[in-house]
Amino acid sequence: MASFTAKTTGRAACLGLLLTLGATTQVAAQAPSDSLGGLASRFGRYQRAALPEKLFLHLDRPLYTSGETMWFKVYAVEGTHAQPLALSKVAYVEVLDKENRAVLQAKVPLKDATGQGSFALPATLASGAYTVRAYTNWMKNFGPDYFFHSSITVLNTFTASGTVAGKDSATYEVQFFPEGGNLVQSLASKVAFKVTSRTGKGVAAEGKLLTQSGAVVASFKTLRLGMGSFSFTPEAGQTYTAVITPAKAPTIKRSLPRVFEQGYVMRLENSSPDTLTFTVSTTKAQSETLYLLGHARQQVLVTARTQTTNGRASFTVSKKQLLDGISHFTLFSADHKPLCERLYFQQPTGQLAIAARPDKGQYASRNKVSVQVATTGLGAQPLGANLSMAVYRLDSLTSSAAADINSYLWLTSDLRGRIENPEYYFTANAPDAEAAADNLMLTQGWSRFRWENILTDSATTFAYLPELNAPLLRARLMAPESKKPAGGVIAYLSAPSRIIRLNNARTDATGLAQFELDNFYGAQDVVLQTNPRQDSTSRFEILSPFTNQFGTFKPTLFSTNPRFQADYAKRHFQTQVQATYARSFKAPPLPKAVAVDSSAFYGKPDETYFLDKYTRFKVLEEVMREYVPGVVVRIRKDGFHFLVVDKTNKTILTENPMVLLDGVPVFNLNKMMAMDPLKIQKLEVIDSRYFHGWMMYEGLVSYTTYKGDLEGFPLDPRVLVQRYEGLQEHREFYAPRYDTPEARQSRLPDLRNLLYWNPNVTTTSTVPATLDFYTGDQAGRYIVVLQGLSQTGLAGSSSFTFEVKQAL
């Protein structure tokens, strides 16, 4: 059932975190905490208002067949130390196709910074690569590139088993990224590059940089995952072309970005194991003041100021000043104009260690598997954590790994687009690992904000409020003829029900009204209206809570392969068998729904009448006159009026009270009095003025029908009645248990690909968790994946495999 609470409308700044200014950089003279002429202070003010929030989704597996169910766990964290953040109470989760069209959407409730949900993938869903993305209402203020994104594969076995893949066009994309931002003539520059196939994966390649006359000025090759870098000095009047040769592919020619006549170039070097050096070159010969600001996830880390000499300057930064993960460095002119930007990745020093082991390494079909899980933090000390666990079968079709929570929170979430194999940057010990990470920072680094928004003197405002208690329904009121917004109008939102809920809000200058939906689950009808005495012409439009803005993330392209045709046919058989027999398994009863407060929003009424206890009249006027002394019925020229008797002040209120039918306001009392009273079960009265949200009612009269569905009452044609999807209702994962001889000997086939899904695994600092599940009838290799987070912000994942044999 639905209940509503009024919320302030319009654009509003939101809560922030206290900002701690870090130590300054090591320059010739130690700078004060804000040596940048107020730049760091302005940035701190913005960051305190722009509380960063991140979501991570643990998906149960990377590949699905059409008709299966996708399960997921949502983790919500703050953006500084990745600690659980119970700010938002709703996560918006979508499955997007290659054209960014939403094929599935859900509003998932969050409690204590976690949530769980599922999608039943339609049997008609086409084969392909899809994007799963998740965000909160608050995160919409900072752009879609900040949302959680992950790529999944869906296989429609009806078509894939007989599909022949099209010929690979073998097209490649090549991009160039000058360090700091731009190429400037006569200034030595480092240029990163990235070569990817049409599927989005990095491709090994080598190449040469040529002048317009054909002279070779640099040679280069990729280091890892299609990325690399080279250095050269652009000359005046020259244009440059790169000739790239991917492995076993024809040569590609691409032009370099434009070379500017004047500007700045910033170079970052790992000058020692403990320090970074930023070298700045400029075409300006005269000395000038430059500022360097370094920050990471809500904290200012570095503030430094220096003067250029002969067009050069440098800053030295201690790595001890930096936080784990990605730090942003921006070079500013003396008048606070951003000149260059650079990212640096410092590998996190600690993560949540998840020790998980099965009781055996090999099992027969329909055998019990017992897994013991323990978690430790820094120094291998036992540490409690909130985890989720999935167990699924590996085959030739399951080639990609699921997103990893640790690499996502500390790396992927702070970069633009899809990151290939992000776990490499946390586990690699090879000599080129640091250089590979730096190439990633150069090619996919970005900022979530615009500096002009930070440097303004006006207060920071945001269009989307955090949903601190429940989802917000946003609606806009517009005049139908002028198409102008109707501001300053009181709007009423209700959902017909036997549980009486009502909300009101005042529209802002843009016509926007916002309502908080409490305990609103599943699809229900909502009723939006205004009081005709105040506004009788404007019309409402309910705004979608899902954004139509999309970032740069692209899923890996999918195409069927003829050599996997036997695997497609096998998956098709398994899917159809499960669809046929799964309902035959006897699932345990679902847990009882969360108790919902069934009292009306106005609490205990002054008068309550159950009409079946009285003589039933055929006219509602007779009911009111005979049985309800707290309401005086009057007939005037325009029809019926109610006047509530204020017993506290011993007077009669002079205006109509708020009249409700199943929670829906009725402003036309003539229609109300024409209703058949035999359809009404209960009548309640508030015998005094009642303050509610933006309004004060002259008493309140509430009618409730037997079914709570208005019983065919004719609402005003201008009233908006619309089916609205609330929070996703909880669905339990079910798998059969073979703990009796009868169950083990059942002839029902069990060809499940997903053996187990548990989004609520809890470990403590003293007791490991023990989890049990049963194998099915499919032999093969299975993988167990655990992911989770501690209250201190340590994230971690772990996996292992085991074998299932038909007979041991």
Is the pLDDT reported for residue 630 higher than 80?
yes
What pLDDT does 70 receive?
A: 96
Confidence label for 363 from pLDDT (cuts 50, 70 and 90)? very high
What pLDDT does 767 receive?
A: 82
Find the mean pLDDT for residues 761-770.
90
What pLDDT does 14 receive?
A: 36
One-letter identity of residue 513: A
DSSP 620: H
What pLDDT does 597 receive?
A: 62
What pLDDT does 520 receive?
A: 93
Is the pLDDT reported for residue 232 higher than 70?
yes
114: tokens are 């976690």
What does the pLDDT look like over 471-505, one tens digit per residue?
999 999 998 888 899 999 999 999 999 999 999 99
Is the pLDDT reported for residue 537 higher than 90?
no
The fraction of the chain above a pLDDT of 70, given in percent, is 91
What pLDDT does 570 receive?
A: 82
What pLDDT does 51 receive?
A: 87
Which pairs from 758-762 meet CB under 8 Å and 24+ separation? 758/388, 758/389, 758/733, 759/58, 759/71, 759/72, 759/73, 759/114, 759/116, 759/388, 760/116, 760/386, 760/388, 761/373, 761/386, 761/387, 761/388, 761/389, 761/786, 761/788, 762/384, 762/385, 762/386, 762/387
What does the pLDDT look like over 645-679, one tens digit per residue?
998 888 999 999 999 999 999 999 999 999 999 99
640 Cα distance to chain centroid: 51
Find the mean pLDDT for residues 781-803.
95
Find the mean pLDDT for residues 309-331.
94
What pLDDT does 183 receive?
A: 94
Confidence label for 1 from pLDDT (cuts 50, 70 and 90)? very low
- Domain ranges for the chain: 3-14+470-542, 183-260, 607-725
Does this chain's domain 183-260 share its CATH topology with 607-725? Answer: no
What pLDDT does 224 receive?
A: 92
What pLDDT does 560 receive?
A: 72
**Would you say 517 and 4 are in contact if contact means Cβ atoms under 8 Å apart?**
yes
In the block, tokens 């194991």 appear at 273
Q: What is the pTM of this model?
A: 0.90
Find the mean pLDDT for residues 566-571.
81
Question: Which range has the worst mean pLDDT, 235-249, 448-462, 514-528?
Answer: 448-462
**Could you name the CATH architecture of 607-725?**
Beta Complex (2.170)
328 Cα distance to chain centroid: 23
What does the pLDDT look like over 283-294, one tens digit per residue?
998 999 999 999
Is the pLDDT reported for residue 584 higher than 50?
yes
What residues form DSSP beta bridges with 50?
none
Find the mean pLDDT for residues 417-439.
87
Find the mean pLDDT for residues 220-249.
92
Is the pLDDT reported for residue 12 higher than 60?
no
In the block, tokens 């109610």 appear at 642
What pLDDT does 694 receive?
A: 87
Is the pLDDT reported for residue 156 higher than 70?
yes
What pLDDT does 482 receive?
A: 80
131 Cα distance to chain centroid: 12
**Would you say 506 and 688 are in contact if contact means Cβ atoms under 8 Å apart?**
no
Distance CA 556, CA 562 (A): 19
What pLDDT does 330 receive?
A: 93
What pLDDT does 30 receive?
A: 35
What pLDDT does 170 receive?
A: 55
Q: What is the CA radius of gyration of the chain?
A: 32
Distance CA 428, CA 360 (A): 30
51: tokens are 């509380």
What does the pLDDT look like over 672-698, one tens digit per residue?
999 999 999 999 999 999 999 889 999
Topology classification of domain 183-260: Immunoglobulin-like (2.60.40)
Burial class (CB in 10 A: 0-12, 13-18, 19+), 180: buried
Confidence label for 26 from pLDDT (cuts 50, 70 and 90)? very low
The fraction of the chain above a pLDDT of 90, given in percent, is 69
Distance CA 489, CA 538 (A): 10
What pLDDT does 168 receive?
A: 45
Backbone angles phi, psi at 43, to 5 degrees: -65, -40
**Would you say 139 and 55 are in contact if contact means Cβ atoms under 8 Å apart?**
yes
